[in-house]
Amino acid sequence: MRTTLSRLLLTALTVAAFAGLTTSASAASWGNEHAKVRAYLGHIGITDHEGSGNHEYKQYKFDGRVFGKLSPTSLSFKASPAYCAGDEVRVHVVVTGQTWVNDRTMKVTAQLVMYEGASCNSDDLDGVSAPITFNMQPGDMATKYLHVDNTDEGGDWAGAWITFEALKGVGV
């Protein structure tokens, strides 16, 4: 009896904790609504690791940044804003989204892509994070963490916390 109650309590706490991280509206057709996928809150930190020990760290906030708009007439988007640290390390926050005409479900994928070289304009690809894919409905919010390491050389790395929001409305 005590084990059953413990399992029920653990299940209830797990469900309550998960409900606090992701909110969801019911699936329905778009009608004349649109949704913008944006960073309700977001920041990225980039470390340019130097062999001399003089590491450079730069942090950027991108609260409110709109990544793209989805609707029955605009079924996908791709955004790739870039941020630089130490005049050598550039990281792109790549966000793609897609939806379907008859269902307001939005599939969102996010990942970090790192370039490192003699300047922030280098095309020397040195790291790609694992993509994170999740579904949203208009009105939803979801918090995600992304991390990328320089897998080619040095100890450069970047991490980003983003609370994605799907703003809903007519002509949003």
Segment 68-122, tens digit of pLDDT: 998 888 899 999 999 999 999 999 999 999 988 777 789 999 999 999 999 999 9
The string of DSSP letters for 89-137 reads EEEEEEEEEEEETTEEEEEEEEEEEEEESSSTT---EEEEPPPEEEEE-
Q: Say yes or no to pLDDT of 35 above 80.
A: yes
Q: What is the pTM of this model?
A: 0.80
3-class state of residue 74 by DSSP: strand
Segment 131-152, tens digit of pLDDT: 999 999 888 999 999 999 999 9
CB proximity list for 138: less than 8 A, separation 6 or greater:
25, 33, 35, 104, 106, 166, 167, 168, 169
- 10 burial via Cβ count (<10 Å: 0-12, 13-18, 19+): exposed
pLDDT band at residue 25 under the 50/70/90 scheme = very low
Residue 7: phi, psi to the nearest 5?
A: -65, -40
Percent of residues in the chain assigned helix, strand, coil, to nearest 5 = 10, 55, 35
| 116 closest CA partner among 44, 46, 43 | 46
3-class state of residue 77 by DSSP: strand
**Percentage of the chain lying above the pLDDT 90 cut:** 60
- What distance separates the 2 farthest-apart alpha carbons in the chain? 66
